[in-house]
Amino acid sequence: MKYPVLWAASALVAVTAVSGFATARQERSAPGVSLARDVVAAASAFETYTRGAGTISAAFRNGDGVAQALATGAAYQADQMDAGMVAYGAIAALQETAFIDGVRRAARDTPPEALIARLTENPESVIEIDGVGAAVSRAQAALLRRATPLGVAGRAVKQSAYDVQHQDWSKAPIADGAGRLARIKAMSAALFVPGDEDGGRLIQAATAPRDDTGTGAEGGAAFTPVTVRAAALAALAVLGAAGDDDVARLDAVMHEKKSGFCMKMAKLNLYQCLAVAGPHYEDVFCLGQHALIDTAQCVTEAAGGARVPAAPPMMTAAPRRAPGLFIPVGGTGAEVAAMSPVPGN
């Protein structure tokens, strides 16, 4: 599948739309690396979903509002989200100049082709590169910044599954429950395709100033399979081996078995919950627990954050049943926030 070509680097880059694709004019002084369209699409899918779902309000007023929130909360494809965590973390890792310098030194000490092959076949080998701790820590913090509001929203929504039962509309039966479940499954199978406006927003979010508050790591970076893969992908990008021509061999780097299984189980639990839900307040519970909390926990654990203690079980299934992208490196990404498209360039 082809995605729009998105380019973004610094304030020195002009982004314009030409025939439905984004192109760019980059000044030579703007440092950066290129990532493949599919990699960018995955990172953008992760950013877009977590940003949108993390702002879901728990103040439900009617069944239509629940349905709209459920559509937002379920709108991700599990495999793309798994890859998106790695890709998003890689963009963050690329802001660590010590790591970038370490990759370049490694490429001087080892033939670049051999280094690329090693990182591709064994992403964990990235831990041998100088500066990797800072890169992993940056990836971890970036991922946890996305997981935290998602979990907060999920817990608020789950609580509202009880609170709204005082309102008559919440106890009315869901119309066309089977059709609703089929629509959610269809949305969950669709890959996210970023638009021209998504590149700058992705860069701004992933390269935000580092904030170690609440990272969940004790004594430094959390070297998890996902954060290590993020660093490996970042290293490959620095080596010029993460572009469109490299997509086929990046698959082993972009996907991690445990985190991928977690995302798929969150979806399966959501489907099972919706399949047995009757009144609207049960859909609210399914949304809060399985679409939001479960997904947030997948991201948190993938990033090495602390697991949120589970509340005493009160319910089971439902309440009543108890493009190519030019990535700035070395911290230059903050400038993207001030960048706006320049028509005609």
Distance CA 15, CA 204 (A): 14
Per residue in 301-317, pLDDT (tens digit) is 999 987 654 444 434 34
pLDDT band, very low/low/confident/very high, at 34 (cuts 50, 70, 90)? confident
β-pair partners for 325: 35
The mean pLDDT value for 81-102 works out to: 97
User: What interhelical angle do 63-73 and 37-53 show, nearest 10?
Assistant: 150
Tokens 């439905």 locate to 20
The mean pLDDT value for 274-302 works out to: 98
| Cβ–Cβ under 8 Å, residues 270 and 183 | no
Picking from 249, 255, 336, the residue whose alpha carbon sits closest to that of residue 32 is: 336
- Which of 31-40, 82-91, 133-142 shows the lowest mean pLDDT across its residues? 31-40
Whether residue 20 is predicted with pLDDT greater than 50 in this model: the reply is no
Residue 186's identity, in one-letter code, is: A
pLDDT band, very low/low/confident/very high, at 331 (cuts 50, 70, 90)? low
Whether residue 223 is predicted with pLDDT greater than 90 in this model: the reply is yes
Q: In the chain, count of helices (H) and strands (E)?
A: 13, 4
Q: How far is CA 167 from the centre of its chain?
A: 35
- Helix H, strand E, coil C: the string for 267-310 is HHHHHHHHHHCCEHHHHHHHHHHHHHHHHHHHHHHHHCCCCCCC
User: What interhelical angle do 97-109 and 132-163 show, nearest 10?
Assistant: 130
Per residue in 126-171, pLDDT (tens digit) is 999 999 999 999 999 999 999 999 999 999 999 999 999 999 999 9
pLDDT band, very low/low/confident/very high, at 210 (cuts 50, 70, 90)? low
Mean residue pLDDT of the chain comes to 83
